[in-house]
A and B are shown apart, each in its own frame.
Chain A
C-alpha cells in the first residue's frame, strides 16, 4: 500500500478512536498481535528445584528474538499491582514452538520471585514484556577458550548460552557454585554436557566441545572464595575469556582478580541485582531533569523540599487527595507520611508518586 494511503488510514483510525488510540480497541481482540505493546501469555510453570521455577511464555507477535545471555523485563500483576523484574532468558533462540523461558529462584522478600515459585502465576495469564536486552553475550566467532563462573540463579544467562552455543565452543570450563546439590539449577542437564558423559557423544550438543563442569556445593565443599580457590580450581583461568554471573560478592571478587592480573578485557560480568534499595528515614532527593539534589528529613514532603530548592513542582491540594502533584520516581524509596507505607522503585520501574504525602526514605530520583 502506498505510504500516503497508509497515513490516511492511520489518521482516520485515530480520529475514530479519539480520545483513545485504535490500539485500545484492537487490544480487546488480540493483545498479542503485532504492533501491540509487547505482552506474553504464560504457557506453563515447572519446578526446577524446590525454590526455582521455569516459566514458559508465548510472546506477542512483536517479539524480536534474543541473543543468548540477554534478559527481558517482565511485568507481572500481583494482588492487582504491576511489578516489573528482569530475568535472563534460558530458552533456545529460534524455537520451533515460538516459546521463551525464564528461570526464577525465590529470593527472601522477593515479591515477584516468590509469586512465581509459589505457582501463583497461572497458565493463561497475560504478562507484560520488554524486548530482550543486555550485553552479557558471547561474541561471534566464539572464543577458543571459555570460562563460566556462576553462582545460584546467576546460572540462568549462562544456561541460555550453553543451550544455544555449546556446539560453537571448543573448550569450556564451567565453575558453578550453589549451597547444595539439590538447590543447583539444571545440574543434570549440565552434567550431561560434560566430557565422557554417556549422552555427550550423542546428544544435541555433540560436537568438538570439551565441557568441563566444576560443581561446588557449600555444604560439602565449604565456601568457595575465588581469590583463594580459583588458581587451584582453574589453573589456566588467565588464558580464558570469562563470563561471570552471581551475587555481588562473587562479582566484586572476580573484578578484583582480573584487574590485578591486568586482564579486565577478558572478564564479562552480569550484575543481575545491581542495586539493593532499602528504605531509610530521610535522605537525598535528586531532581533528574533539573540536575538538583537536596537533603530532606523523613517528615518533609518531597513537594516542599522541591519547592524550596526552586524546582517547578506540580502541586494541588497538598493533602493527598487530588493527584495534581504526581511525578515519576525513577529509582529509590519514599515513605507515605500518612501510613508509613514504603514505596520502592528499582531502576526501570518508573513508579508514579504523590509528592505532597511522600517523604524520601533513603534516596530517590525524581523525573523533574
Chain B
C-alpha cells in the first residue's frame, strides 16, 4: 500500500509570469541591514521613559567590537556543524515519534480501570504531553527557524515542516521569525511583547483593557495554540481595521484564514476524532471518551508549558524594551546589543533545556536564531563572559523565578503607571467613563 508521498504544502506560491526579459540589476550596497557599517551616535544615558539606558556606557566603537566578537563565536560553531549535530536532531525526532506512537497505543486502552484508576490514561496522557512538547519546542520551533536546513534533508527543513500546532507553519514563520526576531522588544513593532493582550513593560501605553490582564493571561496560557493561531493570522488587526481595508487586503486575510481553519480542522480531527475512534474497538465508548480527554489534557499541558517557557524569554524583570527609533539604521553591533538586552535565559538541567526547546538559551537563540539548538549550551558561557566584559546584564534564573516575575508584572502593569499629582484610581475611572461613552473597550479600537 502506498500512502501519501509527501506532506501537503499549505501555501503554494503562485508562479509569477512576466515573459522573457533580460535586465541588469542595479548595484546594491548596504541595502541589507547586516552590512550597515556606519556607527550610530553615542547612546543617551536615559530612555524616553526616563529609565536608565543599560548600554549608555558603551561607545559606538565598543558596540561594533562587541559585534565582531559575537560574529567570531558564531563562525566557530557554524563552521563546525557536523554529523554529530545531524545525529542529534534525528535522534530527537525518532524519540519524539516513538514516544507519540507508544503513548497513542497505550491510550487505546485509556478507559480500562485497575483498582479505581485508569493507568493507561495517566501513562498515555503523560507520554503524549511530552511528545507534543518535544515536537513543538525542540523540533518544530527550531526546524522552522531553519536551524537544520544546512543538512539539506527535505524531511527536516524549514520550508517543508508542518508542526503539531494549530497555527500553520508558514504563518507562524512570518510573525515569529520575521517580525518578532527582527524587531525584538521594540515598542510598537514587536507584537510578541505581550502578544497584543498583555502589558508587561511600563513603557507600553496603558488602556482599560489591561486592567483585566491577569484573566487574559491565564486564558492565553490555556488556549495558547489557538491564541497563537489568531495572532499569526493577525485576527486582532483585521477586526480593528476591517472597515478601512481594501478588497485585496480582505481577500488576502480570507485566504490566510482558510489556511488556518484547514489546519485547525486537521488538528482537531486527529486529536479529537480519529484517535478516539481508534480506541472504540478496544473498549467501547468509555475508551473513546477517555482517549478524547487524554488528547484534550495533553494539548492543555503543552499549551501551559509552552506559554510558561515563552513568557520567560522576554518579559521577566530586568529585560529591556526599546524605542521605535533608529532601528532601521541599526548596525550589526547594535542589533546584537538589542537582542542580548531584550532576552533572558532559564537556568536548569540538560533535560530542562531540551524540554524548553533550548529556548532556555533565549539570549543565544536571539543572537543566532539559525544556530542548531544543541549548540546553544556551548556558546552560552562565552556570551555570558562577553556580556560581563562589556558590563551588560545577562538575565537568567530558574523557571519558577522567571515565570513568577512575569506573573508579578502582569498584575503590576494591569494598573496604569504612577503619575505625579494623579491618583491611579482616577486614571482608571476616567478611562472607564471614556470607554462607556465610546462603547469601546480600548484595545482593538
Residues of A participating in the B interface, judged by any CB pair closer than 8 Å: 6, 9-10, 12-26, 28, 34-35, 37, 77-83, 285, 289-297, 299-301, 304-305, 308-312, 314, 316-324, 326, 337-339, 351-352, 354, 356-357, 368
Contact = CB atoms under 8 A, between A and B. Distances in A.
Nearest to A310: B18
Contact of A18 (B13, B153, B266): B266
Nearest to A316: B178
A16 B21 contact: no
A314 B263 CA distance: 22
Contacts of A317: 177-178, 181-182
Interface stretch (B192-200, B270-278, B342-350, B429-437): B270-278
Nearest to A339: B75
Interface stretch (B32-40, B380-388, B398-406): B32-40
B152 A351 contact: yes
18 contacts: A10-B1, A19-B163, A20-B162, A21-B6, A25-B101, A34-B2, A35-B3, A80-B87, A285-B25, A290-B15, A294-B22, A297-B27, A318-B32, A319-B32, A319-B335, A322-B178, A323-B159, A338-B34
A308 B26 contact: yes
A195 B87 CA distance: 52
A324 to B, nearest CB: 5
A14 to B, nearest CB: 6
A2 to B, nearest CB: 13
A18 B269 contact: yes
Contacts of B34: 319-320, 337-338, 357
A316 to B, nearest CB: 4
A16 B278 contact: yes
B234 interface: no
A81 B278 contact: no
Given A13-B3, A19-B266, A77-B151, A294 B25 contact: yes
Contacts of A339: 75, 78
B28 interface: yes
A22 B32 CA distance: 42
Contact of A14 (B4, B29, B150, B153): B4
A299 B30 CA distance: 9
A300 B25 contact: yes
Nearest to B81: A80
B83 A294 contact: no
A320 to B, nearest CB: 6
Interface in B6-27: 6-7, 13, 15-27
A77 B82 CA distance: 10
Contacts of A338: 34
A301 B28 contact: yes
Nearest to A289: B15
B159 A304 contact: no
Nearest to A315: B178
B369 interface: yes
Interface residues of B, number: 74
B173 A323 contact: yes
A325 B245 CA distance: 26
A166 to B, nearest CB: 37
A21 B7 contact: yes
A79 to B, nearest CB: 5
A290 B19 CA distance: 7
Contacts of B6: 21
B149 A82 contact: no
Given A15-B274, A299-B28, A79 B21 contact: no
A300 B27 contact: yes
A292 B25 contact: no
Contacts of B174: 316, 324
Contact of B32 (A10, A34, A356): A356
Contact of B20 (A16, A78, A292, A308): A292
Contact of B86 (A9, A80, A311, A356): A80
Nearest to A313: B16
A321 B181 contact: yes
A300 B28 contact: yes
A317 B273 CA distance: 39
A301 B31 contact: yes
A80 B27 contact: no
Contacts of B32: 301, 304, 318-319, 337, 356-357
Contacts of A14: 3-4
B3 A352 contact: no
A234 to B, nearest CB: 44
A16 B275 contact: yes
Contacts of A318: 31-33
A297 B20 CA distance: 21
A320 B332 CA distance: 12
Contacts of A299: 27-29
A220 B172 CA distance: 66
Contacts of B1: 6, 9-10, 35
B157 interface: yes
B7 A309 contact: no
A304 B25 contact: yes
Contacts of A18: 266-267, 269-270
Interface in B78-129: 78, 81-87, 94, 97-98, 101
A256 to B, nearest CB: 32
B157 A352 contact: yes
Given A14-B3, A319-B32, A357-B34, A25 B24 contact: no
Given A12-B274, A16-B274, A324-B174, A309 B149 contact: no
B41 to A, nearest CB: 22
Interface string B154-174: 010111001110000000011
A19 B23 contact: no
A13 B152 CA distance: 27
A139 B86 CA distance: 44
Nearest to B372: A80
Nearest to B75: A339
B361 interface: no
Nearest to A128: B153
